[in-house]
Amino acid sequence: MDKPKVVLGVSGGIAAYKACELLRRLTESGHDVRVVPTASALHFVGAATWSALSGNPVATEVWDDVHEVPHVRIGQGADLVVVAPATADTLARAAHGLADDLLTNTLLTARCPVVFAPAMHTEMWEHPATQENVATLRRRGAVVVEPAVGRLTGVDTGKGRLPDPAEIFEVCRRVLARGAAEPDLAGRHVVVSAGGTREPLDPVRFLGNRSSGKQGYALARTAAARGARVTLIAANTALPDPAGVDVVPAGTAVQLREAVLKAAADADAVVMAAAVADFRPAAYATGKIKKKDDQEPEPIVLVRNPDILAEISADRARPGQVIVGFAAETDDVLAHGRAKLVRKGCDLLVVNEVGEHRTFGAEENEAVVLAADGGETPVPHGPKEALAEIVWDLVAARLH
Ligand SMILES: Cc1cc2nc3c(=O)[nH]c(=O)nc-3n(C[C@H](O)[C@H](O)[C@H](O)COP(=O)(O)O)c2cc1C
């Protein structure tokens, strides 16, 4: 089989050097990559680097190798075009359909999925001109990954940083896997909770659970690749921030509730994949609880935590908002799942069997998705990402 053909457009931002790592990841995972830098990009990283790393010729203008009509052929033959970094200028030219260099010609002739990973100073990103250009590109079906927040060129910090190349690669991989499918969550805001809450006993101890957050992160990544604006509420995870996803940390169940309610206010869908503690210690010791040689330890008294899934299902922030819960059960999984779906009042409940060495922390999962309308979708053992895609298929069907 031919290798998938990827066009890597690089425009003239300081983050152009990071595109070298993206290029390596694409070539090493079996893609045939043609790099199309803008003339400005070559001020940052030279053509020799792009050519040597990709094993393909590199041109910026339409006047090189004219007999091969590259201004048309490169776009026509591509399975994916990814522009990383995408400058404010290149976004503007793409949004307005300009065709003044090889990259913009390629963008006009490509009929495959297109991903833009913008990077620029916060002021440039927030400018209404840039925001309107981004909205135009999204409306036309492109996936525009939100920039990350962090250190920018010079001493500045803010939103506008190019996401980690490894995470941009993950977006490309997922968009490629979806082939010609439209980014069906474009224009939607989705909220995903991930990880496990920790309920403190004293400044050094907590009651927690084994959730790694991998399933929630897979949900966030797949939603971003399907064009959604994603807020990921992460409880005690140790995973890299997915590209284009707004990550909000939360420690305890009470903090997670606050973060979910805030983010859900304008969300089209909320997926509660986090393992939220049902109970928390009734008392919090402000100093470390000491061991006393002559005394047995005090029993730990627990109180109930808020039931976030039931609360947001009963009191939807928006009409038509789709709510998805996860039920981790250790026995009689389906019967507990069905009862829980009714009790919680959500639209979909992903029921999976968990145990000490099962599901938590693993790369794979197996589940049945129960729907309030009676539907039942078994998901065979496979990557957490595959389960995530099925969840979004079911959510998208309910949003349309
Ligand atoms: C040092 C330096 C860093 C720059 N970084 C960025 C950037 O990160 N994002 C951006 O949109 N423009 C940046 N620019 C401005 C662009 O290079 C300029 O708008 C250029 O016209 C972009 O051309 P292109 O879109 O064809 O690559 C930078 C310019 C310089 C001199």
Q: Which residues are designated catalytic?
A: 209
Contacts of 73 (CB under 8 A, 6+ apart): none
Q: Is the pLDDT of residue 198 over 90?
A: yes
Whether residue 46 is found in the same domain as residue 75: yes
Q: Are residues 168 and 47 in the same domain?
A: yes
Helix (H) or strand (E) segment spanning residue 47: helix 47-54
10 Å CB burial of residue 159 (0-12, 13-18, 19+) is middle
Res 359: pLDDT: 55
* The pLDDT of residue 52: 97
Residues 246 and 107 reside in one and the same domain: no
Write the residue with the smallest CA distance to atom 4 of ligand 1: 13
pLDDT tens across 150-172, in order? 888 777 888 999 999 999 999 99
Distance from the alpha carbon of residue 171 to the mean position of ligand 1, in angstroms:
23
**Mutational pocket test of ligand 1: of 40, 98, 105, the residue with most ligand atoms within 8 Å of the beta carbon:** 40
CATH number of the domain that 171 lies in?
3.40.50.1950
Please check the confidence at residue 66 and state whether its pLDDT lies above 90: no
Residue 272 lies in a domain: yes
Residues in the ligand 1 pocket, defined by CB under 6 Å: 11-15, 38, 40-41, 87-90, 119-120, 124, 153
Both 121 and 33 in a single domain?
Answer: yes
Distance (angstroms) between ligand 1 centre and the Cα of 13 equals 4
Residue 155 domain-assigned (yes or no): yes
Q: Measured on CA atoms in the order 358, 359, 363, 369, is the torsion positive or negative?
A: positive
Measured from the Cα of 12, ligand 1's closest atom is 27
Tell me, yes or no, whether 121 and 68 share the same domain.
yes
> From atom 13 of ligand 1, which residue's Cα is the shortest distance away?
13
Helix (H) or strand (E) holding 381: strand 376-383
Residue closest by Cα to atom 11 of ligand 1: 87
Can you state the angle between helices 384-399 and 214-225, rounded to 10 degrees? 50
Pick the atom of ligand 1 nearest to 160's CA: 8
The verdict on residue 184 lying in a domain is no
Residue 49, domain member (yes or no): yes
**Residue 303: helix, strand or coil by DSSP?**
strand
Is 116 in a helix, a strand, or coil? strand
Residue closest via CA to ligand 1's atom 16 equals: 12
Do residues 228 and 359 both lie within one domain? yes
The pLDDT confidence band at residue 373, using thresholds 50, 70 and 90, is very high
Tell me which of 147, 178, 209 is where a domain ends. 178
Q: How confident is the model at residue 294 (pLDDT cuts 50, 70, 90)?
A: confident
Give the domain range for residue 44. 5-178
- Judge if 162 and 220 occupy the same domain: no
Residue 244 belongs to domain with CATH number: 3.40.50.10300
- In this structure, the residue with its CA closest to atom 9 of ligand 1 is 120
In a domain, residue 70? The reply is yes
C-alpha 142: how far from its chain's center? 15
**Strands, E, within 203-298: which ranges?**
205-207, 229-235, 245-250, 269-272, 279-281
The alpha carbon of 10 and the centre of ligand 1 are apart by a number of angstroms equal to 11
Rounded Cα gap, residues 32 and 212, in angstroms: 34
Same domain (yes/no): 172, 199: no
Question: Residues 33-37: what's their mean pLDDT?
Answer: 98
149 Cα–ligand 1 center, Å: 18
Atom of ligand 1 nearest to the CA of 90: 25
Residue that finishes a domain, picked among 178, 203, 228: 178
Residue 306 binned pLDDT confidence (cut-offs 50, 70, 90): very high
Domain stop point among 123, 156, 178:
178
Cβ-contact 119, 85 below 8 angstroms: yes
Same domain, 164 and 21: yes
Q: How far is the C-alpha of 13 from the C-alpha of 120, rounded, in Å?
A: 7
Does residue 183 lie within any of the structural domains? no
Number of domains within the chain: 2
Report residue 78's pLDDT band, with 50, 70 and 90 as the boundaries. Answer: very high
pTM here is 0.90
Q: How many angstroms is it from 162 CA to the middle of ligand 1?
A: 13
Q: Based on the domain organization, do 372 and 224 belong to the same domain? A: yes
Ligand 1 atom nearest to 88, measured from its CA: 11
**Buried residues in 274-311 as b, exposed as e (16+ CB within 10 A):** bbbbeebbeeeeeeeeeeeeeeeeeeeeeeebebbbbe
Give the per-residue pLDDT at 360: 59
What average pLDDT is seen over the chain? Answer: 94
Is residue 69 domain-shared with residue 88, that is, in the same domain? yes
**Selected residue with higher pLDDT from 331 and 344:** 344
155 & 282 share domain: no
Residue pointed to by tokens 């805030």: 262
- Which residue's alpha carbon is at the smallest distance from atom 7 of ligand 1? 13
Q: Taking 90 as the threshold, does the pLDDT of residue 333 lie above it?
A: no
- Alpha-carbon torsion 306, 308, 310, 314, what sign? positive
- Contacts of residue 99, Cβ cutoff 8 Å, sequence gap at least 6: 71, 105, 108
Residue given tokens 């957490």 in the structure block: 384
Q: Using the predicted structure, report yes or no on whether residue 203 has a pLDDT greater than 90.
A: yes
